[in-house]
Amino acid sequence: MATTVEQPASPERPIGFGRLRRKEDARFIRGQGTYLDDIRLPGMLHGAILRSPFAHAKINSIDTSKALELDGVAAVVTAKDLETLGLAWMPTISYDTQAVLAGDKVRFQGQEVAFVIATDEYVARDALPLIEVDYEPLPVVVDARKALDPDAPLIRDDKPGQVDNLATPTWEAGDEEAADRAFAEADVVVTRDIMYPRCHPAPMETCGMIADFDPKTGQLDIYNGNQAPHVHRTVYAHVAGLPEHMIRIMCNDIGGGFGNKVPVYPGYVCTIAASIVAGAPVKWIEDRSEHLTSTGFARDYNMHASICAKDGRITGLEVDVIADHGAWDSTAQPTKFPAGFFHICSGSYTLDASHVKVKAVYTNKAAGGVAYRCSFRITEAVYMVERMVDALATEMGVDPIELRMRSFIAPEQFPYETTTGWTYDSGNYAETMKVAMEIADYEELRREQAAKKERGELMGIGVAFFTEGVGAGPRKHMDILGMSMNDGADLRVHPSGKAVVSISCQTQGQGHETTFAQIVAEELGIPPEDIEVRHGDTDKSPYGLGTYGSRSTPVSGAAVSLVSRKVRDKARLIAATMLETRPEDLAWEKGRWFVKGDPEQGATIEDIALRAYSGEELPAGMEGGLDAQIVYDPPNLTYPYGAYICVVDIDPETAQVKVRRFIAVDDCGVRINPMIVDGQIHGGLAEGIGIALMELISFDSEGNCLNSSFMDYLIPTAMECPEFELGMTVTPCPHHPLGAKGVGESPNVGSPPAIVNAVIDALRQGYPEVDHIDMPCTPDRVWAAMQGRAEPPQ
Amino acid sequence: MQVTITINGEEVTRDVEPRMLLVHFIRETPGLTGTHWGCDTSNCGACIVRLDGQAVKSCTVLAAMADGHEVTTVEGLERDGRLDPVQEGFHEKHALHCGFCTPGMMMASRALLDENPDPTDEEIRTAISGGICRCTGYQNIVAAVRWAAEREAEVKQEA
Ligand code: FES
Ligand code: FES
């Protein structure tokens, strides 16, 4: 089933799939992208946000008079003003509520307290320290594991009936009894406390908005780089009571998202309110520290896990999770999945049973739990299970690849129903693992490691094998705020045979303008350069749920493929009339319908398009024109997977970890543009290195964020990233029209466990008692592990 | 105070507050928005331009400090409708995704090649390590700079 050869561009495949250079590059390499801050509207005012210095404090009073006296300040908006507009609180993406501006009290450091509107950005920021807020500090809870202690301060006293800091009640999946049985019958059991610490997607462009409300017409134009413009429009219509057809959201170019730009943030609502109040366009853009301290963080999962084996094979898994959701529950995931897709944690293995419990708590920290290049908590799940499998292999004295090989789901078992209720579509895991071993020369690496151990050197080899579920999702199971997770596509072929395809998902760098043109090209035979891809403008694209959870290719990609086929079907009927034959007597080759048995007789898509709009005869009853529309409802998620091997060296003197090699073999089904797929993998691997070794959002006991700038929140540069070694297998998705599965997040999901497994493997060469270390594996934390005092980060 | 800065060969004069950052001056006055801003702490490199040929972070220079000096921005790379080899290399080698870091990365790379026309991968990585790219994992940026170096060497040989 699997093959390691990518589909080459050949004379038979002259257009469509392949390493097409990106269409969107032309503007970016000239510095002509249009990011939010590049937009200037006449008469535009500028906003800035005053934020709380305290993690938990009562607000006794807010005095804005001195700020208002400053030259150039137009207004200062506080919770009181928003109350009169009914905008003081807003719903989160998870059906919780959150304060737009704090009125009663602040619940985390960096929370929005007041919004200044001024003639320029410098003045707006000058006004912030002139606002006088009388705070009365309250006790703080930052550790999720202590949030439910009886003496923990109540954070959400705004919620009627809320008596503790429980954000979501315990949610379970799997079969507890069966899992208990598997553990009772097991030969080996291993238990670990594993923390996936809080980190941040930190796209290079921070969040912001320009709102332009026209009081004469009631039209609200919004410029805002976000990952789900249609959903945002619906939210603004509901929150602000504005008519949805009078709201237009334009994303333009977005400087990265990685999940961080899915939610609606308080700053957006403030900007809209400010424009309505001021009757002028208002721009607000956060600075980097505002971005890191107040917008959606990722992970913060405390996982207590046990895994067991019988007869040399993995048989059971039990996990108990405490999730830290911060001050509001604004995690981003489908409504019926309060722990996201965490229960995919049974991984790539045929377990006899598994059981998962997750509960979420409020803490005095910024809210989020959004994905960071992760399909709804799959990153946490994969990290946990791949750490546990390694721990189990160590306990059993078996090579970690050997244990995985013994326990993999076999190719003939697909579609495979997991113990927690997922139906994996297709795979050949052992084959992919073997390709990774070959590239790595695994046996040789183990020999090298043994030789180095003799010399006292700490070399580690880490393995991870992941299965992801992406492309959310089927409407009967998945919605966000009640909106089904389907995507629209709209294709118009013009009389000259050139085409415009409008899609409902929005690029933040993934190359949609190229990939989606390639899909139409492949289906219709129109060259990619003659296909314009429209996206990111709610007035110019059909409704859909956006780009995150690796869903663009699985959902929108399928929509574009099927809408093209609809056009092709219509073209066939028109061609039959043109060629005076029956449709069933025609055959299709790239770009042309021709008469079976008489290939000379044919009509190209250009000929057909011209005919469709002309005054000449069309098939009886057919409307003119050559276009089509579709809304795609995926029948299942797609399940990309991959085998990753990481080689690290640890300096025994400084405890510095160096990633020497990283081998990534991904199977994401059919690759539309392998160049872009490789690029996505490179980027995700770099993020994985960041998460495993450098990136951490931590807090002191008073709730002060300790990583609020790029001085303390460390992101890998070119110096920390090795030359990645990629390989591939191709196991098509059976239900996707192109066989594609999606890839964006896979490398971020798969790389942290490979790296941490490598770090532990290296440490064990000199310190065999080390059995776990939590991320990030910074020198101080690795050093502590060497001294036998590894602690989870705060 | 009044400052005059030559940006991509054109003199730009404006009254500015002494605290105005060069990055803001470039973006606002001639409206050259290709130079980006990405952090508060001089860490990200999205703002890299060349000041008298040197690659500098324009968020770390006051407009006043650039008075009387020459600045080249990403918009100055293309000459007479011909892309700089570094620009071509970034396109050829897929060295950009969202494009936000790209102008800074290209300016740092151009400055490197002017000084060292045949850099090793390690030297390229060092030269761009003042910048952060969240999207590409750097591998293709290194390949793009190498591509540009090779292209320039070929052109020189032909001449
Ligand atoms: S804006 Fe980040 S270094 Fe200049
Ligand atoms: S391309 Fe997005 S930050 Fe570099």
In terms of phi and psi (left: phi > 0; alpha: psi -120 to 50; beta: otherwise), the region of B107 is: alpha
Ligand 2 atom with the shortest distance to the CA of B96: 1
Domain boundaries, chain B: 2-76, 85-154
Task: Please report residues of A whose CB lies closer than 8 A to that of B76.
Answer: none
**Is A745 marked active-site?**
yes
Dihedral of CA atoms B32, B34, B40, B44 in degrees, nearest 10, equals -150
How close, in Å, is residue B56 to chain A by CA atoms? 17
Give A545: exposed, middle or buried? Use CB within 10 Å, 0-12, 13-18, 19+.
Answer: buried
pLDDT tens digits along A91-140:
998 889 999 999 999 999 999 999 999 999 999 999 999 999 999 999 99
Ligand 1 atom with the shortest distance to the CA of B57: 4
pLDDT tens digits along A459-484:
999 999 999 999 999 999 999 989 99
Q: Cα dist. B39→A72, A292, A508, A612, B136 in Å?
A: 25, 10, 19, 53, 19
Per the listing, tokens 């190498």 go with B146
Q: Average pLDDT for residues A394-416, to the nearest whole number?
A: 98
Phi and psi (nearest 5°) for A595? -80, 125
Q: Which CATH class is domain B2-76?
A: alpha beta
Q: Average pLDDT for residues A598-624, to the nearest whole number?
A: 97
Record: contact A678-B94, CB cut-off 8 A: yes
Task: Please give the distance, rounded to the nearest whole angstrom, from the Cα atom of residue B43 to the centre of ligand 1.
Answer: 6
Q: Average pLDDT for residues B6-16, to the nearest whole number?
A: 98
Q: Average pLDDT for residues A744-770, to the nearest whole number?
A: 97
A731 neighbors A2 (Cβ within 8 angstroms):
yes
Q: Which CATH class is domain A25-33+487-632?
A: alpha beta
Domain boundaries, chain A: 25-33+487-632, 36-138+206-254+261-294, 301-408+427-472+636-786
pTM: predicted TM-score of the whole model, two decimal places: 0.97
Report the topology of domain A36-138+206-254+261-294. Aldehyde Oxidoreductase; domain 3 (3.90.1170)
Residue B69: closest CA among B135, B7, B18? B7
Position A199 scores a pLDDT of 98
Q: How confident is the model at residue A7 (pLDDT cuts 50, 70, 90)?
A: very low
Tell me if B155 CB under 6 Å of ligand 2: no
- In this model, does residue A8 exceed pLDDT 60? no
Q: Is A71 in the B-facing interface, judged by CB distances under 8 Å?
A: no
Task: Please report residues of B whose CB lies closer than 8 A to that of A25.
Answer: 90-91, 96, 99
Give A184: exposed, middle or buried? Use CB within 10 Å, 0-12, 13-18, 19+.
Answer: exposed
How large is the ipTM? Answer: 0.98
A667 neighbors A641 (Cβ within 8 angstroms):
yes
Dihedral of CA atoms A698, A703, A706, A709 in degrees, nearest 10, equals 100
The CATH architecture one would assign to domain B85-154 is Orthogonal Bundle (1.10)
Which residue of A204, A676, A681, A746 is the best one to mutate when testing the B interface, meaning the one whose CB has the most B CBs within 10 A?
A: A204
* Residues found in chain A: 794
How close, in Å, is residue A251 to chain B by CA atoms? 13
Q: What is the 3-state secondary structure (H, E, C) of A122-133?
A: HHHHHHHHHCEE
DSSP character at residue A736: S
Residue A779: closest CA among A652, A648, A654? A654
Per the listing, tokens 């004069």 go with B13
Between chain A and chain B, the number of residue pairs with CB atoms below 8 A apart is 168
Q: What share of chain A is helix, strand, coil (3-state, %, to 5)?
A: 30, 25, 45
Buried b / exposed e across A124-149, counting CB within 10 Å, b at 16+?
A: bbbbbebbebebeebebbbbbbebee
Q: Considering chain A, what is the average pLDDT of its residues?
A: 95
Q: Which CATH class is domain A301-408+427-472+636-786?
A: alpha beta
DSSP character at residue A265: P
Q: Cα dist. A581→A125, A572, A601 in Å?
A: 72, 11, 10
Q: Six-digit token pair at B48?
A: 């890299």
Position A15 scores a pLDDT of 52
Query: For residue A159, what are the contacts with CB-CB under 8 A and spacing of at least 6?
Result: A97
pLDDT tens digits along A203-246:
999 999 999 999 999 999 999 999 999 999 999 999 888 999 99
Whole-angstrom Cα distance, residue B155 to residue B149?
Answer: 10
pLDDT tens digits along A158-209:
999 999 999 999 999 999 999 999 999 999 999 999 999 999 999 999 999 9
Dihedral of CA atoms A762, A765, A769, A774 in degrees, nearest 10, equals 0
**Is A449 marked active-site?**
no
DSSP character at residue A552: I
Task: Please give the distance, rounded to the nearest whole angstrom, from the Cα atom of residue A261 to the centre of ligand 1.
Answer: 21
Give A9: exposed, middle or buried? Use CB within 10 Å, 0-12, 13-18, 19+.
Answer: middle
Position A17 scores a pLDDT of 75
Alpha carbon A328 to chain centroid, angstroms: 20
Tell me if B44 CB under 6 Å of ligand 2: no
In terms of phi and psi (left: phi > 0; alpha: psi -120 to 50; beta: otherwise), the region of B42 is: left
Per the listing, tokens 């079907």 go with A569
Q: Whose CA is nearest to atom 2 of ligand 2?
A: B98
**Is A373 marked active-site?**
yes
Nearest ligand to the CA atom of A680? 2
Is it true that A25-33+487-632 and A301-408+427-472+636-786 share their CATH fold? yes
Q: Average pLDDT for residues A579-584, to the nearest whole number?
A: 97
- In this model, does residue A42 exceed pLDDT 90? yes
- In this model, does residue A10 exceed pLDDT 70? no
| Residue among A345, A506, A745, A777 flagged as catalytic | A745
| Residue among A199, A207, A308, A374 flagged as catalytic | A374
pLDDT tens digits along A521-551:
999 999 999 999 999 999 999 999 999 988 9
Whole-angstrom Cα distance, residue A506 to residue A378?
Answer: 22
